[in-house]
Amino acid sequence: MFAWYLKKSTLVCTALACLLLSGCGSSLGFVHAPPASYRVPLPDGIQGVWAREGPDNGERVRVSSLDNGTVRLDFFKTKPSSQPMPEAPLILQALRFDNTDWLLIDMRKLSALEDAQYKGQAPYTLIKYALEDGNRLCGIQLGVSLFAQAIETGQLEGKVDVYAKPFMRATVTSSGEDWVKWWVAQPASEKMFAQPVFCFQRIN
């Protein structure tokens, strides 16, 4: 659900991308995805049509579950707009680890929706999501600083770039199995998430 906000310059500012790397601030990416053993079916309550909270601009995303935890997002509009909408669906992966539900986004697939080539070094991004009630779905991105510290102290492999204090980019190159195990082992009080939280309301 959360994927269509990434590049405000080309994609309409609606679901995932504002939530991901909204074009500014700090960013966190992974070279390797978590192991397939963490894949789970998308909960039935997440499927359906959603709109971002706030003034209704007519932008919608239909969320549906495919095989092996694969998630399909179809975008459409209910009112005329000059903003383009992706014509093809975006495919994500539902995961569960650390007693948390996640959506794994492959930035290469998101770039392909804009007929663009992904040129980054860490194609995977994670979004934590939760269905707060039957009609409100919220997501939040992992924080960068804890991963950056782990890279700098040798707990994880990767690279940290500070490009305009206090903003930084952390690229995790450890295997998916290693960085997930590291995250799960961290004290709950240390696990940080980026702000803001993005929420969506069910349409039907």
**Residue 1 within any structural domain of the chain:** no
Mean pLDDT across the chain, nearest whole number?
83
Number of independent structural domains in the chain:
1
**Residue 7 is assigned to a structural domain of this protein:** no
Task: Determine, yes or no, domain membership for 9.
Answer: no
User: Is residue 158 scored above 70 in pLDDT?
Assistant: yes
The whole-angstrom separation of Cα 36 and Cα 154 is 25
pTM for this predicted structure: 0.84
Residue 128 pLDDT grade (very low, low, confident, very high; cuts 50, 70, 90): very high
In a domain, 4, yes or no: no
Look at the block and give the residue holding tokens 């492959």: 106
Q: State the DSSP string of 101-157.
A: EEEEEEHHHHHHTTT-----S--EEEEEEEEEETTEEEEEEBPSHHHHHHHHTTSS-
Is position 6 within any domain? Answer: no
Residue numbers of the domain that contains 24: 16-202
Chain segment 15-68, per-residue pLDDT in tens: 444 433 334 456 899 999 999 999 999 988 899 999 988 888 888 889 999 988
